[in-house]
Amino acid sequence: MNWAVAHRIAGIAAAQAHRDLGIDRARYVPVHQALKAAEVVGMAQPMPRLFGVYFSPADNGPAVLLNANLDIVTQRHTAAHELGHHQLRHRTAADDDLSPALRWGNGSWPDEEKTAEAFAAWFLMPRPAVLAGLDRICQGRPTSPEHVYRLARELGTSYAGTVRHLQNLRLLDADRARQWAKIPPAALRGSLAGGAALPADTHVHVVTVGSHLQQVHADVGDVLIIRGDGAAFAPLPKGLVCWTGAAQAAVVTDELSDPVVLEVSAAGWDEPVQLTVVRDSPRVGVHDVWPD
């Protein structure tokens, strides 16, 4: 099976899963809640060599084991990959060294792994959510790799995976996708942060007038940067503090537990922008994997 066929199969399966699991296809996809809705038993624990494991009904499943050491973006992708195994009625599978960044498209993946990997992309990045995000970010068409990075932050996906999926959706041509995929995300984070030095695991979330009534899914250390003349945060709620790396910026701290509403004003904006900041950290244990 080639990747084109895998994506056709996975795209249909992901749309059916969205429908059956009650997923809003125009917004950020809560994959851990989706696994719970699918009645998949699971947990997350540190594993030195595995991304995740899917146990089929034939092996006392369905159940999923996730690596608690993964960052949130990688764990979300792994959770969607394992959900793909379940939705596509695959056999038990242990996913170890299947790194898309290293082995994408080289023909070495088994067919079930190809379709589960493609499912993860279509499940986490449904076309309506992609189009809605691009409309807020760049009036519908990405013209710079920074636009793709910002979209990835809205969707909770990797930069490289988002580049590939935009090509699948025919929203990015193959030549530009190849060029942009070579750009290190660290360079894009630095560009969006005005050249400031950032820790390797820090994500940058850009707040504009288009962010009104949206949710920002962030983890500890992530930075929120305002774009707008004279823009300023209202008094920051608990869990957010001013960041000294750049003006008009705030950083998420470990004190953020429950979602908080953030208000931003700027010259030329008709009204203050309100957005909700949600802490989305890697899951550990059993109860935190399947939140209510």
Closest CA to 289 of 30, 29, 33: 33
> Are 209 and 117 found together in one domain?
no
Full domain range(s) for residue 274: 197-285
pLDDT in tens, 233-251: 888 999 999 987 555 899 9
Answer whether residue 276 is part of any domain.
yes
98-132 residue pLDDT tens: 454 444 445 578 899 999 999 999 999 999 999 99
Q: What sign has the CA pseudo-torsion 190, 191, 193, 196?
A: positive
Q: Mean pLDDT score of the chain, rounded to an integer?
A: 91
Tell me whether residue 178 is in a domain.
Answer: no
What mean pLDDT comes out for the span 209-223? 94
Query: For residue 237, what is the DSSP state?
Result: P
Q: Which two tokens stand for residue 62?
A: 């369905």
Lowest mean pLDDT among 73-82, 215-224, 235-244: 235-244
Token pair belonging to 201: 């695991």
Q: Residue 150 falls within a domain, yes or no? A: no
* CATH number for the domain that contains residue 278: 2.60.40
Give a yes or no: residue 158 inside a domain.
no
Q: Are 101 and 211 in the same domain?
A: no
Predicted confidence band of residue 23 (pLDDT cuts 50, 70, 90): very high
pLDDT, position 197: 81
* Max CA pair span of the chain: 61
Of 124, 149, 171, the last residue of a domain is 124
Assigned domain for 273 exists: yes
Q: What is the pLDDT of residue 101?
A: 44
Q: What is the CATH number of the domain that holds 112?
A: 1.10.10.2910
pLDDT digits (tens, 9 = 90+) for 268-285: 888 899 999 999 999 888
Listed residues 66, 100, 124: the one ending a domain: 124
Distance of CA 85 to the CA centre of its chain: 19
Rounded distance, CA 56 to CA 87, Å? 10
How many domains, in total, are found in the chain? Answer: 2
7 and 120 housed in the same domain: yes
Q: Order the strands of the 52-55 sheet from edge to edge.
A: 41-45, 63-67, 52-55, 93-95
38-47: pLDDT as tens digits: 999 889 999 9
Q: Which residues pair with 94 in a beta bridge?
A: 53
CA distance 156 to 189: 15
The residue from 97, 124, 151 where one domain ends is 124
Average pLDDT, integer, range 53-73? 94
In a domain, 104, yes or no: yes
Per-residue confidence (pLDDT) for residue 201, from 0 to 100: 87
* Contact residues for 40 (Cβ-Cβ < 8 A; gap 6+): 61, 62, 63, 64, 82, 83, 86
Domain assignment present for residue 101? The answer is yes
